[in-house]
Chains A and B, each alone.
Chain A
């Protein structure tokens, strides 16, 4: 009886709907997706294969080390680690892959921040927006990251562009959340002070709220960068070049050694990026 009750409704064709929806999106927005695929794809290829590769590795390593030195407050630890770590990646023959991964991470994070910060601001200003966006963010973050690869391929084919798209969806939420949090945390008295002197909404945002929220927003951006790095690795499954592809091919051929070496390269990159963005966040806080 209960089984009968249970089965009274036939299987809901959610999968069909999703397929239909993505197909529709692909067709309807082809005018948008195709040029993005073409121009953005070309730009990324240029950046990773021409621009970054034109910098001699030794110069690149030194530049990163100098940046690390100043960002970490004139300490040598991170700078030294960057030199040794990046040299190791070069030594293992992953330099070209590293450049692809760096390109992907930089562009994906940059886009995430450009999109995420304004959405976070919107959430902090409007209860309605916050109520609508919060569950969407939860959805975006809990959906297994692999799932995003499928529509990404449908929209943008294979390669770097769908990789950026998938990591955009996966990595934007922390920036949005932390921006929202940071602005809401600004002390009530400071908001009052700003209002009491006759600030407009924009003046309040740019002169008080964003500067006060800076360190929190930077913490969100740090998370976003780390998530896009992890997504970039996964994106190798849809043909995004880079260190992830090395891991993937090692997996497919079940070669432990190369898998380990390329894995370590990713870890090194992750540590360098993480410490750098963290020290930016700390700097913002110290002020």
Chain B
């Protein structure tokens, strides 16, 4: 039995909700309904189910209704129509007292801007959910402390949230959600307010935590890269509708739904997006000065399984994998030349996105972007998909 099941869930904001729902049933679009009735459709007849232990990502750009959807699930926003089943119980028809119990025992939420209470210490914040349940003081402190240790904040119990960095604050948010030992974690853009490096670290940590805890996680994001990293399955949302649900693989291989395909088409027609728009600064080691040890160390630091190698003039020489570097180190080979691989796919900086897509899909390594043999950047899969999903458009304006 799925742990979260959502059936036909709809939210219409404003007056004339009944009329708006009738129009929705007739198949009118969001803008048409707004014109006709003045009501805004937040979420339109969303249906999906999440299995126990799954990370289910809801991905959409801003205004797509994803934040509304997650709030409908714990009824922070009252649904206009439809049902939410948590563990088989219908939340949508529940009275307030039972709803509170479900929120206390089964659902915990992590917020985009952390939602920490500034007047409470880290420990008191983490213990909030238990305090609400009237768990006695020593027990709730103990549990909150455990949760904080789990997210690596065991030494910050008596600090106030204002004294912590963003990443640490969100760990407190996560610990507060975990202290309740809920079945379901609702994470609303939980990492979006963090800067990219910290965000990646948090994503990794969440994946690691998840391998221990086996919670069911509903993760909301506007970042397709994040969705692909975290999601066991992904639901793509647009204008309040869920347009596709699938595993990251399915979404990568088969972006053949209207929403993603449209982006692909647009890009094909215009050929606006090219390699230079989506490439990232590469992690490299220099063949003259660095040996396998340095290469290995850098890979470990950056969490990579392979690293690019250049000469001192930034000419691309090839790459080395972590396995090869390790083997080299064991055999005491001091020069990278002996373990260098050169079969890395290369593209020019103005290669079209469409062409990169087929190259990167067949490749086990990232794609290198070169100009006259010099390394300019690398392209990872997520960047291609993100560009397809529309974020690339912003980049074009910037260039």
Contact = CB atoms under 8 A, between A and B. Distances in A.
A198 B119 contact: no
Interface string B184-198: 001000000000000
A195 interface: yes
Interface residues of A, number: 17
B111 A192 contact: yes
Contacts of A199: 100, 132
Contact of B119 (A195, A196, A203, A212): A212
Given A189-B115, A192-B76, A198 B131 contact: no
Contacts of A195: 76, 103
B119 A189 contact: no
Contact of A193 (B102, B104, B111, B180): B111
A224 to B, nearest CB: 23
A197 B128 contact: yes
A251 B32 CA distance: 73
B103 A189 contact: no
A200 interface: yes
B118 interface: yes
Contacts of B351: none
B262 to A, nearest CB: 33
Interface string A172-204: 000000000000000001101101111110010
B395 interface: no
Given A193-B109, A195-B76, A207-B131, A200 B100 contact: yes
B393 to A, nearest CB: 29
Interface string B312-350: 000000000000000000000000000000000000000
Contacts of A200: 100
A208 interface: yes
Contact of A197 (B114, B118, B129): B129
A287 interface: yes
A261 B102 CA distance: 67
B111 A197 contact: no
Interface in B177-233: 180, 186
A287 B118 contact: yes
B159 to A, nearest CB: 13
B119 A197 contact: no
Interface size range on B against A:
20 to 34
B107 interface: yes
A211 interface: yes
Interface in B113-127: 113-119
Interface in A191-247: 192-193, 195-200, 203, 207-208, 211-212, 214
B108 interface: yes
Contacts of B76: 192, 195-196
Contacts of B102: 198
A189 B112 CA distance: 9
B74 interface: yes
A120 B237 CA distance: 41
Nearest to A196: B109
A198 B133 contact: yes
Nearest to B106: A198
A193 B115 contact: yes
Given A192-B76, A193-B109, A198 B132 contact: yes
Contact of A203 (B109, B115, B132, B180): B132
B256 to A, nearest CB: 37
A189 B100 contact: no
A287 B119 contact: yes
B69 to A, nearest CB: 15
A192 B117 CA distance: 12
A196 B107 contact: yes
B371 to A, nearest CB: 46
Nearest to B114: A189
A196 B117 contact: no
Interface string B236-269: 0000000000000000000000000000000000
Contacts of B109: 192-193, 196-197
Nearest to A193: B115
Contacts of B363: none
Nearest to B182: A197
A196 B100 contact: no
Contacts of A214: 119
A207 B132 CA distance: 9
Contact of B103 (A198, A208, A287): A198
22 contacts: A189-B111, A189-B115, A190-B117, A193-B116, A195-B76, A196-B103, A196-B108, A196-B186, A197-B104, A197-B128, A197-B132, A197-B176, A198-B105, A198-B129, A198-B133, A199-B100, A200-B100, A207-B131, A211-B119, A212-B119, A214-B119, A287-B118
Interface of B: 71, 74, 76, 100-105, 107-109, 111-119, 128-129, 131-133, 160, 176, 180, 186
Q: 8 closest A-B pairs (Cβ-Cβ)?
A: A198-B104, A193-B115, A198-B103, A196-B109, A197-B129, A198-B100, A189-B115, A211-B119
